[in-house]
Structure 1
Amino acid sequence: MDTINTLIDASIRGTLLGITIFFWGCGLAAIWKWLFGVTKKFLHWLCPNCKWFQPKQEVKDTE
């Protein structure tokens, strides 16, 4: 009985740890995405004429 209780306790702890790590990772990814967006907007504001910030031009076919 003690072994079964230990296994159940370990599975519950593992599940809660996995869920916690998943949400922590999602939150960290969201923060990094926001930080990169803010940095890109700041650099665009700082250097508006830089070519690497301009939207890519679509190639138009002339028929």
Structure 2
Amino acid sequence: MPSNLDWQKSSFSAGDADNECLEIAASPTTLHLRGSDHPTTILAPPRAVLQALLAEVKGKR
């Protein structure tokens, strides 16, 4: 996994230190996800799994 990922917080994050939110970073072939409260636990789901998650979150499934 690339060590120089550029992590971005959700635009819904208030930016507080106590605010738990989802962070995302992109590498050339993968989207990486982590929770701001556990930044060392990084998920790199397969594309189909991520698409299903996003469809569910958007309510389009």
Which TM-score tier does this pair reach, normalised by the shorter chain? under 0.3
User: Which structure carries more strand by proportion?
Assistant: 2
User: Which structure carries more helix by proportion?
Assistant: 1
- What is the TM-score with the length of structure 2 in the denominator? 0.23
Structure showing greater Rg:
1
